[in-house]
Amino acid sequence: MPATENQRAISNLEYDLLTALKNKAEALKAYETYIQDAEQMQSQPCVELFKKLQQQDMQQAEEIRHHLQEVMQKGKM
pLDDT digits (tens, 9 = 90+) for 41-53: 999 999 999 999 9
Distance CA 57, CA 23 (A): 10
Nearest to 72 by CA among 10, 7, 23, 8: 10
69 domain residue, yes or no: yes
Q: What is the pTM of this model?
A: 0.81
* Positions of E strands within 8-77: none
25 domain residue, yes or no: yes
39 domain residue, yes or no: yes
Total domain count, the chain:
1
Q: What is the pLDDT of residue 65?
A: 97
Provide the residue range defining the domain that includes 60: 10-74
